[in-house]
Every structure is written in C-alpha cells, then in structure tokens.
Structure 1
Amino acid sequence: MNQYEPSLALTNALLIDGTGGPVIDGATVVVSGSRIAAAGTDVLVSPHARVVDLAGKALLPGLIDAHVHLGGLGFRSTPPFGGRAATDDYAAAREGALRYGVTTQRSLGDFLHDSIAVRDGIESGTLAGARVVTSGPSFQVEGGHPNATVWGSEPAAVREGARMPKSAEEAERMVGELAATGVDLVKIIISNNAIFGPARPELKMPWHLTDAIVDAAHAHGLRVAAHTETVEDARAAVERGVDDIEHLVLRAQEPQDEAAAEELFALMADRGTYLVPTMVAHQFEASADGDARTLRYGNHLIRRAYEAGVRLGVGSDAHSPGLHGWKLRDELVMMVHDQGIPAPAALSMATRTNAELLGIADRLGTVEPGKFADLLIVSGNPAQDITAIGHIHQVIRDGRVVFKGAGA
C-alpha cells in the first residue's frame, strides 16, 4: 500500500541532487504533497512534519530510464510484442521499475493507443508505476528490424507497433497522425538487419524518408530518436537533425574507426545531440553469477564520447518482465567501471540529463524546490561506489512511498 505524507522531512541525508554539483552531507529535503518544498543544509522543518532520519543513506532524484520497451521485443516471448491485453497493462514494466528506483521510463516503440493510455493512467493515479514518456510505434522498413526480426512478422505487433511509409508524403502524414494522437516523440529505426546475419542494405530506412520524418516531427514540436548500429549511420542521422542517437553501435566487440568516431562525437557535441548507448543490452560479457561489476562493453567508445563533450543519457533497452529497473542499474555500473566515467557524472546523466532529453527537466530530474518528489534513497554513497545504487532503502514517487527495501 502506498503511503502519502502531506509534510515529510527527510533529514541527515547525503544529498546527491542530480545537478552535478558536490554531494551535500547532512542535508534535509522537505516534501509537501507531491512536490519538493525545500532542500539543503539550513532548512526549517515544521513541528507538524513527519521526520525521517536518513543517517548513513544517500538521497537522489528518482532514476530515469531513457530507453525501454513496455510491450517487449520478442525472441522467446508469446506474443512476441504486445499491448495492454497481452501484458496486463504493462504491469511488470511499469511496477517493476520502481523496485530499482526508476521513477520514469521512456518507451521507444510500443502499441500507440495502449502506451498512451497507460502513460495517462499512471499520471492520473489510476495505475501504479513509473511515469511513462512514449513514442508509440517506431518508423521501420517493411521486412526489416524489428518487425521481421524479433517480432517475427506477428500481425498485431506489426500493425500496432510499426509505421512503414513508402514515400515522403506518407511519412509526413503518419507523423501528423501520431502527433495528433498525443505521442511525446518520434522514433526511427535505421538498421540493415546486420545483427541478425549478413547486412541487407535494401532494408535500411532510406535517407529521404528519414529527412521527411525528422522535418515533420520537428514541425509538430516533437523530438526524434534514431536507432543506429554503426558510427557511419549515426553521423548521417545527426547530420539530418535527429535529437538523439540510440545504441550507436550493436557490435561493440568489433574495432571501430577511431577517426570516424571522433568526427561523430565532435559533431554531436557541437549540435547538442544526445547519445543513449544501452551498453548493457548489447555485446557484453558477465560472470556466471551475473555480478554487474564484471560487465564489459568491448571498447571505450562511450568514454570517448563523454570526453568529447557529448551529452550522454542512460538507457537499458529493457524489454521483458523482470528486466525493467535492474538493467538501468547495471548500465550505470558499466558507465563507471567499464568506461571510466566518474560516478557523480553518471548519476547526473541518469537523472538531470535524461530529464532534459525527455523534455521534463522543468519538473523532474533534480532535487530542487518546486519539482515533483520522485526520490530514491539508498544505503551507502553511490557517488563513491556506484554499486550502492542497488542498495535500495526506499523509493518515493509523487511524494508517496511506492517501494521499501529490506529493513526499511
């Protein structure tokens, strides 16, 4: 049962506020209703407030996962990709994320009306779970990825989860229809199916259609996320004005053209294009016991992007029951342990930067007065040891306690 505190004072916390500034020891955060009322070291606490002492614990903004699929992706799933009826209103995805401190998820490819209905149901409080930002269906090529790969050409998935224009005019019309229905952004798949066998260039989204989709989306005030699998395709997409690159590469164990990567990162930094690498979902190794600290991405491509000044988001590509939430935790561990990105920077990426990417930074992503009280409390100090992000003490969303860890 969720608990609602009209005036809650969280005291003696190690505050990691998401802004990228220094960690604040001995901080107090006051929650009033669904909002943060005050945060800092000289905060006056009302005698009527319920006071919770967080000594030995860190308090952060709720984590944001910038890349999930509420309805799944396929392979061993039945059905391979589904909507509300097949997934119990996406229950595992929306509720499971909260157990790991993920209070907002961006779904990049799902059934249109179902994902919007669940998004709105969560926002209104009729459904429990992490907040949802959704693209609805993604733009794809018929016979390409994912409609003919992980979905196995399943009719309902193709009909509800894909848009496959044959002309620029049709692409513009489809974007307009999605905008009118209420999507939060547009997603394009740029893939030649090479991760499933020999490359098939005829199955890659034609660049003239990409141009039409990007232009139409921007005309409707919608951002564009582009799934890419090579540095070359990422650069072409950035040149065409996409707002963020998803994955970048899907064969991370293969050598990358370092000069081409440096040119891409310089271009992305100059244009302010975001990168959400989803390392944990692609081409990594793990120990037999699944220890996240042993995960390996195969190269330091993402560290080079960070050093070049690219705005890095954090996403997991979670797509099956049980994966939402914990995969974002492992992505953060990989950012720090594998790519050498400082833990405070990685935490800011999963909160403030992701909020900026999703267009919700005015109300989420940092612990500041006036913003929604979506908060994560963990034991230890994840700014020093990133694995502490998994030691969940309590999760608060909208000022309500939505999950308690062991001993909380």
Structure 2
Amino acid sequence: MKPTRRRLAVAALALGALLSIPAAAADARTWIVGATVISPERADDGQRMDVLVEGDRIASVVPAQPPGTARDAPVFDATGLYLLPGLIDSHVHLATIPGFSPVMEYRHPLLAREYRAQLPRSFLRYGYTTVIDLIPTDRAVVDAFLAAPAHPDVHHCGALPVQDGYPSHFAPGVVRKRIFPDYVVEPGAADADHAPQAVVERVRKGGAICIKTFFERGFGRDRNLPVPSAELFGALMKSARAAGMPVLLHASSIEAQRFGVEGGTDIFAHGLWNWGDANASPTLPQPAREVLDRVAGKKIGYMPTLQVIGGLRVLFEPGYFDLPAVRRVVPPSMLEWYRSPAGRWFKDDLAGGASDELMRARLGETLQRGAESTRYLAQKRAFFLFGTDTPSGPTPGNLPGLNGYLEMQRLVAAGVSLRQLLEAATLNNAKAFGLADRVGTIEPGKRANLLLLGRSPLESVEAYDTVRAVWIGGRRLDPAELEAAR
C-alpha cells in the first residue's frame, strides 16, 4: 500500500488503540431459529440449531428453542438458511481510497467523504464483521469508521519497516521519520528508541495486536531497497514473542519467504507469485516447493492475497465497472468518476502504453504463479488465513467487501477447499490474531457477529454472495440497506 501525503502527515500523531465497539445498541434478547449452523470448530456440514443472542453476545446454541421462550424474546425465522460466524478480513488498509492518488484526495473531497461513509457498510454487506488494518496511517479515518452507525470491529498491527525500507521509502526523506515513527534499526545502531524491543513495546501500548514488517527489495522504479538482516529480524521476533504479538512478514518472493521461514515468522502477509529467475517455469520450481514445504510443515499462517494481482488485471477486462456487484460497494458518484478519463489514470500509468490484451497476459502469468503456489499449499493442508490487502494500492480493482468475495473465488479456483476457505476466514484468523476467545465460532460467550447465507458455503463458493442478514454485536443488519446503489 502506497501512503498518500495526507495520510503521511497525520501518521506522525499517536494512533492510539483501534478498539472494537458495537455498531449500535443490540436487541436485548433474540432467538435465531431454524438455521443450519455451520461453525468451523466442528467437522460436520452443519446442524439445525437455534441460537439465542443476548445483547452483543451469543447466549445459547441448542437443537431447539425451549418451549415458551418466544414470549419473552423476538424470534428471527432462519428456516432453510445457513448461519456461520461473521467473516474476518485480516489484511485491510482503511485509509487508502481505491483509484485515488494523494493529490486526488485533496481535489475531490466530496468523493473521498462519500467513499469513506460507504466503506464500513461495504465490508458488512459481504459479511465481514471484523477487519484488521495492517498499516494504519490515519487516525482520523479510523475514528470516522468507528463513528459510523454500523461498522465491523477493527483491530490493527504495528507497522515496523526497516529504516528507509519498504513502504517507508514512499514518504519524502525530509518527513519519513515522522511519517513512519515505528521504523526499526539494525542491532548495534545508536538509535535506541528504534531498537526492536523499544518499538514493539511502543506499538503494543498503542493498542496493536500484531506486528507487521517487510522483506521487499522493491519493484518498478523502486529497487534495491534495504531489507532486515537475519539478526534484526531475530531481535524483532524475540521482542514480539515476549509481548505476545504475532509477527507478519510482507513477502512475495522465494527469497523473502525463505528468509521468513528461517527467521520463524508467524504469518506471511502475501502469497508466492515472484519466482525470480524461474518466473517463466510452467510448473512450481523446486526452490519454491522447498520453501512451501517448510511453510506447511511449520503451520505458518499464510495469506495468498491473489486479488492483489487480480485487482490489477480487472482494470484491463471489459465491463468491470458495469458489474452490479461494483455498484453495491461504491457510491454512484465514485463509480462515475472511475469511468471518466481522469479516473483511468492508474490503469494508464500501470500499462505504460501496453495494450489491454498484453496487460491481461502479463498479469495473468503472475496470477498463475500465485495460484500454483496456493494449490500446492492446499494439498499440503497449510494453515491458511484469509486476508485481501484491500486495497493493495491505488487500484479500483480492490473494492471493499467485494474484493473479499473475488479473493474467495480465486482461492477456490486455485484448489483451496471450501472447508479450508471457511476456516481461514473465521477460526484460523481468530486463532492467529489472538481473537479466538471473542470471535471465529458460534459458541456461547462469543461476540454475536454472525452471517446468514441462502446457500451452504461448504457446497459452493457462490454461497458467500447470498447474504440474507448480518449481525454485528447482536444488531441485525439487512444487506440491501448496506448497499451503495439503493
């Protein structure tokens, strides 16, 4: 994610904790009856159960509503439908506006305001009741998100780039240290305030539940960026473990993921689509297999994030902005701007004069490498986590909520089973980020973040596009009322 100048300016301020709060007051007591309950801690295909919600919590999950209870609680009839835990997207960037450069945010304040007002609703429309911001750079954006009448629960990581490395290199040098105040330096450096232990403790006190760092040498015009040494990464891992915080590593190449495996990272924040000298290989090269075998064997959390590339490719596919699903998640004014010559700036910049056909082919090759790596891990029963990197940059191909559904489709097409997908987007994410005592399953005591579908997600990935209701902290929301084009 490339930070904008506006976000860079406010990132120097203390972020504070991004607390999870309910969207609004929940009903005091409600029975959800007749649904097939699919909860990922159970290996079955679901059971017909009745669920009692009290306030913002699940109070009871029973085979049948006890006689007489309807008199003292409203009943929501979910007969024939499928109830599962609310989905978790563990890789988002709330401050980034898809399709906007830094200057455009200044030039089009009304569009920016309308997009951000719709943002939490779009996540909820597709069933995402928890999101984790991996590089929070604008406290004002998060505050506005949390002030919305309905919004997902929000958590965040502390972003710890190596000094002058990715993504801090996007910031002008004169303000870089103010914009990325939590950069880390190599052991032995005189800057004690930016030693791993000091920085990890600082972001922990600021409310972060995880640490994200980066092994990225760069791409395009930015190459040969500094990356952490094994010693620095080891010190960071040690400090994070002592603080009880998982470490995510931005890594999409064989070199970077080998570094992360050897350093003991907890989670990879991207899939493996850069095979280096073997990029032209029609099959997964042996060096990639060796790294992925270790990823699967060590049960390292793995986010394939295929839509990072998919969100670029759709810009060169005809009819993308005409899809009804796109109209669901962005305001009409924003969609009109995307279709304008000014709104096509990123597509033109990315292509550099190349034809749509050539760009589809180039990005398709990268997608195929990511899919091959994902397929291999699926066969090895890897510990998948569901994260979308929404948006991965200034591309309108990564739209909130919808991007998650498109990621799901790509994962299943790559060979991830429907059960693996369900677990990744619920229980696995909850476990990996220390949230399993609150969300991820349908059990008494858990937060009442729930998703009701018209079809079983264990029968078809298209089930995730049949949302009938969403509960956030016990409050039921109608998906039709969450759409942008109403």
The TM tier, using the shorter chain, reads 0.7 to 0.9
TM-fit CA distance, 1:266: 2.9
Which residue does the alignment assign to 1:100? Answer: 126
| CA distances 1:136-193 after superposition (whole Å, capped 9, x unpaired) | 4342441x43233xx4639778633463333325332222222232211111011011
Instruction: Supply the AA of the counterpart residue of 1:31.
Output: V
**Superposition map of 1:372-383 within 5 A:** 372-383=447-458
Which residue does the alignment assign to 2:409? Answer: 333
Q: Is the 8 A contact 1:234 1:248 kept in 2?
A: no
Instruction: Supply the AA of the counterpart residue of 2:249.
Output: A
> Are residues 368 and 81 of structure 1, via their aligned partners in 2, closer, same or farther at CA, if it must alter by over 3 Å?
farther
| CA distances 1:227-274 after superposition (whole Å, capped 9, x unpaired) | 002122112112212110111334487547532233223322333311
Aligned partner (choices 178, 202, 207) of residue 177 of structure 1: 202
Which residue does the alignment assign to 1:208? Answer: 231
More strand by share: 1
Q: Which moves more between the two structures, 261-270 or 28-37?
A: 261-270
Which residue does the alignment assign to 2:136? Answer: 110
TM-fit CA distance, 1:374: 0.2
**Superposition map of 1:252-291 within 5 A:** 255=281, 258-282=285-309, 285-286=313-314, 288-290=318-320
| Aligned-residue identity in percent | 24
Question: Distance between the aligned counterparts of 2:385 and 2:104, measured in 1?
Answer: 27
TM-fit CA distance, 1:363: 1.3
Task: Please state whether the residue corresponding to 1:212 is helix, strand or coil.
Answer: helix
Task: Please state whether the residue corresponding to 1:373 is helix, strand or coil.
Answer: coil
Question: Distance between the aligned counterparts of 1:171 and 1:403, measured in 2?
Answer: 48
Question: Distance between the aligned counterparts of 1:391 and 1:64, measured in 2?
Answer: 17
Instruction: Supply the AA of the counterpart residue of 1:367.
Output: I
TM-fit CA distance, 1:383: 1.8
Which residue does the alignment assign to 1:146? Answer: 167
Q: Is the 8 A contact 1:137 1:162 kept in 2?
A: no
> Are residues 388 and 309 of structure 1, via their aligned partners in 2, closer, same or farther at CA, if it must alter by over 3 Å?
closer
Tell me the C-alpha RMSD between the 2 structures. Answer: 3.6
Aligned partner (choices 450, 462, 470) of residue 387 of structure 1: 462
The question of 1:308 aligning with 2:380 is answered yes
Which residue does the alignment assign to 2:89? Answer: 65
Question: Distance between the aligned counterparts of 2:459 and 2:137, measured in 1?
Answer: 40
**Superposition map of 1:9-408 within 5 A:** 9-44=31-66, 46-47=69-70, 48-72=72-96, 76-78=100-102, 91-111=117-137, 118=143, 122=146, 128-142=150-164, 144-148=165-169, 151=170, 153=172, 159-161=178-180, 163-168=182-187, 169=192, 170-172=194-196, 173-194=198-219, 196-197=220-221, 199-200=223-224, 202-251=225-274, 255=281, 258-282=285-309, 285-286=313-314, 288-290=318-320, 297-298=367-368, 299-319=371-391, 323-336=399-412, 338-405=413-480
User: Which 5+ residue runs of structure 2 have no aligned equivalent?
Assistant: 1-22, 326-359
Instruction: Supply the AA of the counterpart residue of 2:120.
Output: R
Task: Please state whether the residue corresponding to 1:134 is helix, strand or coil.
Answer: strand
| CA distances 1:315-343 after superposition (whole Å, capped 9, x unpaired) | 1100278822211111111111x212221
| CA distances 1:125-144 after superposition (whole Å, capped 9, x unpaired) | 887411112114342441x4
Task: Please state whether the residue corresponding to 1:219 is helix, strand or coil.
Answer: helix
Q: Is the 8 A contact 2:247 2:266 kept in 1?
A: yes
Give the alignment's TM-score, normalised by structure 2.
0.71
Task: Please state whether the residue corresponding to 2:102 is helix, strand or coil.
Answer: coil
> Are residues 40 and 145 of structure 1, via their aligned partners in 2, closer, same or farther at CA, if it must alter by over 3 Å?
same
Q: Is the 8 A contact 1:30 1:37 kept in 2?
A: yes
> Are residues 407 and 118 of structure 1, via their aligned partners in 2, closer, same or farther at CA, if it must alter by over 3 Å?
closer
Q: Which has the higher contact order (CA 8 A, sep 6+)?
A: 2
> Are residues 41 and 280 of structure 1, via their aligned partners in 2, closer, same or farther at CA, if it must alter by over 3 Å?
same
Q: Which moves more between the two structures, 348-357 or 157-166?
A: 157-166
Q: Is the 8 A contact 2:177 2:183 kept in 1?
A: no
Give the alignment's TM-score, normalised by structure 1.
0.84
> Are residues 406 and 185 of structure 1, via their aligned partners in 2, closer, same or farther at CA, if it must alter by over 3 Å?
closer
Q: Which moves more between the two structures, 282-291 or 213-222?
A: 282-291
Question: Distance between the aligned counterparts of 1:118 and 1:254, measured in 2?
Answer: 46
Q: Is the 8 A contact 1:74 1:80 kept in 2?
A: no
Question: Distance between the aligned counterparts of 2:81 and 2:302, measured in 1?
Answer: 31
User: Which 5+ residue runs of structure 1 have no aligned equivalent?
Assistant: none
Instruction: Supply the AA of the counterpart residue of 1:160.
Output: I
> Are residues 80 and 250 of structure 1, via their aligned partners in 2, closer, same or farther at CA, if it must alter by over 3 Å?
farther
More helix by share: 2
Q: Is the 8 A contact 1:186 1:222 kept in 2?
A: yes
Question: Distance between the aligned counterparts of 2:478 and 2:126, measured in 1?
Answer: 9
Question: Distance between the aligned counterparts of 2:451 and 2:389, measured in 1?
Answer: 21
Question: Distance between the aligned counterparts of 1:239 and 1:146, measured in 2?
Answer: 23
> Are residues 368 and 80 of structure 1, via their aligned partners in 2, closer, same or farther at CA, if it must alter by over 3 Å?
farther
Q: Is the 8 A contact 2:161 2:213 kept in 1?
A: yes
> Are residues 248 and 140 of structure 1, via their aligned partners in 2, closer, same or farther at CA, if it must alter by over 3 Å?
farther
User: Size of the alignment, in residue pairs?
Assistant: 395
